[in-house]
Structure 1
């Protein structure tokens, strides 16, 4: 099994370790829900070093990434980042990625751990003759630590992180945290104020320990993948392998905003353009149960009037804030409008639910109302 540079910190911290995409990773420390609440109210510290980090550099780095990703890379200024997709020729999602522009001719691409080898090979295979750029897999050289929650900025400021007060969402910069050089991005997977810190692997343990020590007075706790999954579910963020794969397109996944069909040629463009014109037969939706129950990946979604199967749950759990079952999935296009009644088949028992407008968490912050409007 693979290990991040922080494996000893997890063991010493009493984490429950599990196999995640071939990596031995912490699923929880004090408990999934406890860690979830820490992030929502104070801050949580996550090891996300299992994620892949690929540096694309050279004179043609921007034009190359325009070709292999769906979003418009030329719109990124230095120090800016965006969410994007890497698609196959059929428009199916090979991976969802974050692209950071670190200077005029260099980009950092963050990919999912389970897809790293596949994506690096795909990027190498699709480098055209005119692409004057290098593709460097830096995943083992760098560690990545996510500091997420309302007090995350104050924690970093207390450790001397320069420019942290003015760093905008989806922007990044070089800085130092407690004297340790880091590449900091204001990105994350929780819906809270947060930062992702990339640091050389040899300094990861020192940075982790100093963050935990400095963050103690700000309510910081180490957190595992269980809390991270709950947090991202409440934001209705896509999880590769659950909510998308190579047979699902960004248009079906309600992520058409990551696709710029006007930017020119890119892999998958023709298929996505055709689908844009003809429409999709299914679409990604969010739903809430109307009775107590917990939806899970693979459960069927039914039309309550006919009991016809109209889709499938891809992610689901009990929301700690809403105190009700929430989920994500794909349904036939006729059943996608918020307010539409559906039925979730949970191990043979039928539970009423309705389609809602995501995200769940933001809707709760706006007030106590939790039904669609």
Structure 2
């Protein structure tokens, strides 16, 4: 039997993680570090100081063309015309049924002559699917797409000390970079695209750069005392911040209104887009299920796929769950019948044939106070 690991893609930072004795896992066709020094230690470092993640496996698409924003408006429910150069928007690609093909960040880079430029970051597991979908819908436009997914590295530097640490490596004034703002800067003498975005519930940056420059930056951050973090801590951090993970909280059968992403749907402000009629109907009639936060009583962990019970009957399903290091409680995200989705609602989760009490709580479970 062929060694599966040999067929996995490796990021430009794979060897550095290997040197650091990271534990690897197969994730969306890539060999990715799941843990370096220990999940709790990595999680706590991001909450209290700073941690860095290799996220080079994510899809990276560059777009150039006349009327680029207009061409993109049909693909997403968000009004991209609101964006000024250097601003970004979290949004979703929708299918005609209003289901989520992927959640993405659209970075508008402004114009060069008549040409508009944008960068779009997508999930690793959906990169090929997204590329095909986007290209099929842009084919009648003048917009060109460039796939940078394997030619560029991506590092997430996250935590309350992220700005202070990165500032020492660039002449750009990072304090002028507000949430979701982005620009091209020089870091350690190399050109880099940086954005004040992240997936941890903390302040921080996502930095895209050439492989050699990325390796240099990883080493510099290591020397500056930044903790290397794997996918394990990334998952517990995003779950405390109640951020959706594609394939768990969101997929092609779930609409943004059901997923608690109603804020990305701008029905009043824009014209037609794929899935609009379904979302209009859901808005008018109300959705039948909602994504909620659950807090377990005790330390029983509700895992993906576990049934949510009310009055002896199944009323939903857990999408993600963990024992949350910062919150200090067992938490979960789950879809439940809308009538049972209000905070304070008592429910149960079936764990290995037994039902354990859970309560619907407000999301997110954790909010940064720094």
Structure 1 partner of 2:245? 239
For residues 215-235 of structure 1, give each alpha carbon's deviation from its aligned partner in whole angstroms, at most 9, with x where no partner exists.
21xxx1100000000000000
Q: Output the CA distance in 2 between the equivalents of 1:209 and 1:128.
A: 42
1:318 pairs with 2:323 = yes
1:223 pairs with 2:221 = no
From 207, 211, 215, the counterpart of 2:221: 211
CA drift at 1:107: 0.7
Query: Retained in 2: the 8 A contact 1:161–1:178?
Result: no
Structure 2 partner of 1:106? 117
* Structure 2 spans left out of the alignment, 5+ residues: 1-7
1:126 pairs with 2:126 = no
Query: Retained in 1: the 8 A contact 2:343–2:360?
Result: yes
Runs of 4+ with deviation above 6 angstroms: none
Q: Output the CA distance in 2 between the equivalents of 1:207 and 1:93.
A: 34
Structure 1 partner of 2:4? none
Q: Output the CA distance in 1 between the equivalents of 2:45 and 2:121.
A: 26
SS at match of 2:42: helix
SS at match of 2:74: helix
Q: Output the CA distance in 2 between the equivalents of 1:337 and 1:287.
A: 11
From 340, 349, 352, the counterpart of 1:335: 340
Matches of residues 150-161 of structure 1 in structure 2 within 5 Å? Answer: 150-161=160-171
Structure 2 partner of 1:61? 68
Q: Output the CA distance in 1 between the equivalents of 2:122 and 2:334.
A: 22
Query: Retained in 1: the 8 A contact 2:307–2:349?
Result: yes
* CA spacing shift, 1:293–1:242, aligned 2, 3 Å: same
Q: Output the CA distance in 2 between the equivalents of 1:7 and 1:128.
A: 36
Q: Normalization by structure 2: what TM-score?
A: 0.95
Q: Output the CA distance in 2 between the equivalents of 1:365 and 1:81.
A: 23
**RMSD value over aligned CA atoms?**
1.2
Structure 2 partner of 1:346? 351
Structure 2 partner of 1:294? 301
Matches of residues 70-109 of structure 1 in structure 2 within 5 Å? Answer: 70-104=77-111, 105-109=116-120
Q: Output the CA distance in 2 between the equivalents of 1:227 and 1:331.
A: 26
Q: Normalization by structure 1: what TM-score?
A: 0.94
For residues 179-222 of structure 1, give each alpha carbon's deviation from its aligned partner in whole angstroms, at most 9, with x where no partner exists.
12111100000111100001022322112111221x21xxx110
Q: Output the CA distance in 2 between the equivalents of 1:82 and 1:221.
A: 28
Structure 1 partner of 2:208? 198
Structure 1 partner of 2:28? 21
Q: Output the CA distance in 2 between the equivalents of 1:348 and 1:57.
A: 54
* Structure 1 spans left out of the alignment, 5+ residues: 367-373
1:182 pairs with 2:192 = yes
SS at match of 1:264: coil
CA drift at 1:11: 0.4
Q: Output the CA distance in 2 between the equivalents of 1:176 and 1:193.
A: 20
